[in-house]
Amino acid sequence: MKTIKEYSQLIDNALKDKQYGSYPKELYDPISYVMSLGGKRLRPLLVLMGNDLFGGDTEKAIHPAIAIELFHNFTLVHDDIMDKAPLRRNQSTVHKKWNENVAILSADAMMVKAYQELCKADFNFLPTLLDIFSDTALKVCEGQQLDMNYETQTKVSILNYLKMIELKTAVLLGGSLKIGAILGGASQTDSQTMYDFGKHVGIAFQLQDDILDVFGDSEKFGKQKGGDIISNKKTYLLLKALEMVEGNKYMKEELHLWINAPVFESSEKVEAVTNIYNFLNVRELANKEMEKQYAIGMSLLNSLHVADDKKKNIINFTDSLMVREV
Amino acid sequence: MKTIKEYSQLIDNALKDKQYGSYPKELYDPISYVMSLGGKRLRPLLVLMGNDLFGGDTEKAIHPAIAIELFHNFTLVHDDIMDKAPLRRNQSTVHKKWNENVAILSADAMMVKAYQELCKADFNFLPTLLDIFSDTALKVCEGQQLDMNYETQTKVSILNYLKMIELKTAVLLGGSLKIGAILGGASQTDSQTMYDFGKHVGIAFQLQDDILDVFGDSEKFGKQKGGDIISNKKTYLLLKALEMVEGNKYMKEELHLWINAPVFESSEKVEAVTNIYNFLNVRELANKEMEKQYAIGMSLLNSLHVADDKKKNIINFTDSLMVREV
User: Do B80 and B172 belong together in one domain?
Assistant: yes
CA distance A120 to chain B (A): 9
- CA dist., res. B92 & res. B2, Å (int): 35
Beta-carbon contacts of B238 under 8 Å, excluding residues fewer than 6 positions away, are B228, B229, B232, B273
Residue B46 has pLDDT above 50, yes or no: yes
| C-alpha to C-alpha distances, A165 to A142, B107, B156, nearest whole angstrom | 10, 21, 47
Beta-carbon contacts of B6 under 8 Å, excluding residues fewer than 6 positions away, are none
Residue B147's SS3 state is helix
B90-147, pLDDT tens digit by residue? 999 999 999 999 999 999 999 999 999 999 999 999 999 999 999 999 999 999 999 9
CB-CB: which of B24, B131, B141 is closest to A146? Answer: B24
Host domain of residue B52: 1-185
Residue A101 · residue A81 · CB < 8 Å: no
CA distance A124 to chain B (A): 9
* Cβ atoms < 10 Å from Cβ of B139: 20
| Set of chain B residues whose Cβ sits within 8 Å of the Cβ of A26 | 145, 148-149
| Set of chain A residues whose Cβ sits within 8 Å of the Cβ of B116 | 134
Q: Assess A134–B contact: CB distance below 8 Å, yes or no.
A: yes
Q: How many domains does chain B have?
A: 2
Q: Assess A81–B contact: CB distance below 8 Å, yes or no.
A: yes
* Cβ atoms < 10 Å from Cβ of A301: 23
Q: Assess A160–B contact: CB distance below 8 Å, yes or no.
A: no
CB-CB: which of B111, B115, B149 is closest to A24? Answer: B149
The percentage of residues in chain B with a pLDDT greater than 90, rounded to a whole number, is 94
Q: Say what the pLDDT of residue B326 is.
A: 47
Beta-carbon contacts of A234 under 8 Å, excluding residues fewer than 6 positions away, are A150, A151, A156, A161
CA distance B182 to chain A (A): 18
Residue B223 has pLDDT above 80, yes or no: no
Instruction: Report which of B16, B25, B139 is spatially closest to residue B71, judged by C-alpha positions.
Output: B139
User: Do B79 and B156 belong together in one domain?
Assistant: yes
Q: Say what the pLDDT of residue A223 is.
A: 64
Whether B138 and A105 lie within 8 Å, measured CB to CB: no
User: Do B180 and B242 belong together in one domain?
Assistant: no
Whether B101 and A108 lie within 8 Å, measured CB to CB: no
User: Do B78 and B110 belong together in one domain?
Assistant: yes
Show the 3-state SS of chain A: CCCHHHHHHHHHHHHHCCCCCCCCHHHHHHHHHHHCCCCCCHHHHHHHHHHHHCCCCHHHHHHHHHHHHHHHHHHHHHHHHHCCCCEECCEECHHHHCCHHHHHHHHHHHHHHHHHHHCCCCHHHHHHHHHHHHHHHHHHHHHHHHHHHHHHCCCCCHHHHHHHHHHHHHHHHHHHHHHHHHHCCCCHHHHHHHHHHHHHHHHHHHHHHHHHHHHCCHHHHCCCCCHHHHCCCCCHHHHHHHHHHHHCHHHHHHHHHHHHCCCCCHHHHHHHHHHHHHHHCHHHHHHHHHHHHHHHHHHHHHCCCCCHHHHHHHHHHHHHHCCCCC
Query: What is the CATH classification number for the domain harbouring A317?
Result: 1.10.600.10
Whether A149 and B116 lie within 8 Å, measured CB to CB: no
Which of B170, B185, B200 delimits the end of a domain?
B185
User: Do A289 and A270 belong together in one domain?
Assistant: yes
pTM to 2 decimals? 0.96
User: Do B191 and B109 belong together in one domain?
Assistant: no
User: Do B178 and B103 belong together in one domain?
Assistant: yes
User: Do A118 and A71 belong together in one domain?
Assistant: yes
CA distance B33 to chain A (A): 17
Alpha-carbon torsion (A99, A105, A111, A113), positive or negative: negative
Q: For residue B218, what pLDDT band results from cuts at 50, 70 and 90?
A: low
Q: What average pLDDT does the segment B3-10 reach?
A: 95
- CA dist., res. A100 & res. A102, Å (int): 5
Chain CA centroid to CA A258, Å: 28
- CA dist., res. B193 & res. A90, Å (int): 49
Residue B167 · residue B202 · CB < 8 Å: no
Which of B127, B161, B185 delimits the end of a domain?
B185
> Each residue's pLDDT tens digit in chain A (326 positions)?
789 999 999 999 999 989 999 999 999 999 999 999 989 999 999 999 999 999 999 999 999 999 999 999 999 999 999 999 999 999 999 999 999 999 999 999 999 999 999 999 999 999 999 999 999 999 999 999 999 999 999 899 999 999 999 999 999 999 999 999 999 999 999 999 999 999 999 999 999 999 999 998 766 655 678 999 999 999 999 999 999 999 899 999 999 999 999 999 999 999 999 999 999 999 999 999 999 999 999 999 999 999 999 999 999 999 999 986 54
B79-100, pLDDT tens digit by residue? 999 999 999 999 999 999 999 9
Minimal Cα distance from A23: which residue of B?
B142
Whether A119 and B131 lie within 8 Å, measured CB to CB: yes
Residue A8 · residue A84 · CB < 8 Å: no
- CA dist., res. A32 & res. A86, Å (int): 18
A61-85, pLDDT tens digit by residue? 999 999 999 999 999 999 999 999 9
Q: Say what the pLDDT of residue B289 is.
A: 98
User: Do B76 and B162 belong together in one domain?
Assistant: yes
User: Do B146 and B242 belong together in one domain?
Assistant: no
Residue B325 has pLDDT above 80, yes or no: no
A312-326, pLDDT tens digit by residue? 999 999 999 998 654
| Set of chain B residues whose Cβ sits within 8 Å of the Cβ of A109 | 138, 141-142
Q: Which residues pair with B88 in a beta bridge?
A: B91
- Give the CA count within 13 Å in the CB-facing half-sphere of B74: 28
* Cβ atoms < 10 Å from Cβ of A183: 28
Which of B185, B206, B241 delimits the end of a domain?
B185
* Cβ atoms < 10 Å from Cβ of A140: 25
- CA dist., res. A45 & res. A7, Å (int): 7
User: Do A152 and A236 belong together in one domain?
Assistant: no
Q: Say what the pLDDT of residue B220 is.
A: 65
Q: For residue B221, what pLDDT band results from cuts at 50, 70 and 90?
A: low
| C-alpha to C-alpha distances, A130 to A15, A135, A173, nearest whole angstrom | 21, 8, 16
- CA dist., res. B29 & res. A142, Å (int): 12
Q: For residue B2, what pLDDT band results from cuts at 50, 70 and 90?
A: confident
| C-alpha to C-alpha distances, A151 to A164, A213, A230, B150, nearest whole angstrom | 12, 18, 14, 38
Length of chain A as a residue count: 326
CA distance B199 to chain A (A): 20
User: Do A171 and A196 belong together in one domain?
Assistant: no
Q: Say what the pLDDT of residue A2 is.
A: 87
| Set of chain A residues whose Cβ sits within 8 Å of the Cβ of B123 | 127
Q: Say what the pLDDT of residue A326 is.
A: 47
Beta-carbon contacts of A135 under 8 Å, excluding residues fewer than 6 positions away, are A175
